[in-house]
């Protein structure tokens, strides 16, 4: 179950509709996707093979088509973060600093969990614990970060125009006059 925590007030939001309203007012889409049993079974595995990944994509073909309808977001793949994978800490460290992308960051979580942090236009911050069965679309240009808890276990569909669009532009580098953000 998602939990949305504004860091300037309490308590956290745990109701889907309230979370969707909060995020929607800030340009972030949030919805619940029902998970078939075989999807949850795959996501519970320690190792997710290429065939498993294709099965996950196939399970959501109608949802993916709906996202792609009338938008450029027509490609999808599957990422499976597991604690035993080589390089996992380095992979996660690419996104745990405040950054933004040229394209929307669209994810459907099918297993495990992670935390999105957001920095809004007036500098306030909020955190979203996102778990299996939850879909999020972070708009292009929105400052955010992402990290996993100590389980380092999350399986997600990534939906994109092309892989270049979600290269991270870091806020600290932009502030220092580095790469364009």
Considering the complex, state which of residue 104 and residue 105 has its C-beta at the smaller distance from Fe ion: 105
Site for Fe ion in 79-118 (CB under 5 A): 105
Q: Residue 57: which of 44, 46, 69, 48 has the closest Cα?
A: 48
The three state secondary structure string of 125-156 is EEEEEEECCEEEEECCCCCEEEECCCCCCEEE
Considering the complex, state which of residue 60 and residue 146 has its C-beta at the smaller distance from Fe ion: 146
Q: Can you state the percent helix, strand and coil of the chain, rounding each to 5?
A: 25, 30, 40
Asked if 134 touches Fe ion (CB under 5 A), the answer is no
Tokens for 150? Answer: 């100590």
Residue number of the CB atom closest to Fe ion: 105
Size of the site for Fe ion (CB under 5 A): 1
CB of 110 to Fe ion, least distance (A): 18
Considering the complex, state which of residue 18 and residue 163 has its C-beta at the smaller distance from Fe ion: 163
Give residues in contact with Fe ion (CB under 5 A): 105
């Amino acid at each position: 179950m998602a939990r949305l925590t504004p860091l300037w007030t309490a308590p956290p939001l745990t109701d889907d509709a309230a979370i969707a309203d909060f995020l929607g007012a800030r340009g972030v889409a949030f919805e619940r996707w029902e998970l078939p049993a075989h999807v949850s079974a795959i996501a519970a595995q320690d190792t997710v093979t290429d065939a498993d990944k294709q099965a996950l994509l196939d399970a959501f073909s109608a949802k993916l088509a709906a996202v792609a309808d009338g938008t450029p977001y027509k490609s999808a793949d599957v990422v499976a973060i597991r604690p035993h994978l080589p390089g996992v800490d380095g992979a996660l460290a690419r996104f745990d600093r405040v950054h933004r992308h040229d394209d929307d960051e669209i994810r459907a979580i099918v297993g495990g969990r992670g935390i999105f942090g957001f920095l809004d236009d007036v500098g306030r911050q909020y955190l979203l614990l996102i778990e299996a069965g939850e879909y999020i679309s972070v708009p292009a240009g929105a400052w955010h970060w992402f990290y996993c808890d100590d389980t380092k276990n999350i399986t997600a569909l990534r939906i994109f125009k092309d892989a270049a669009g979600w290269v991270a532009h870091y806020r600290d580098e932009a502030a220092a006059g580095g790469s364009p953000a």
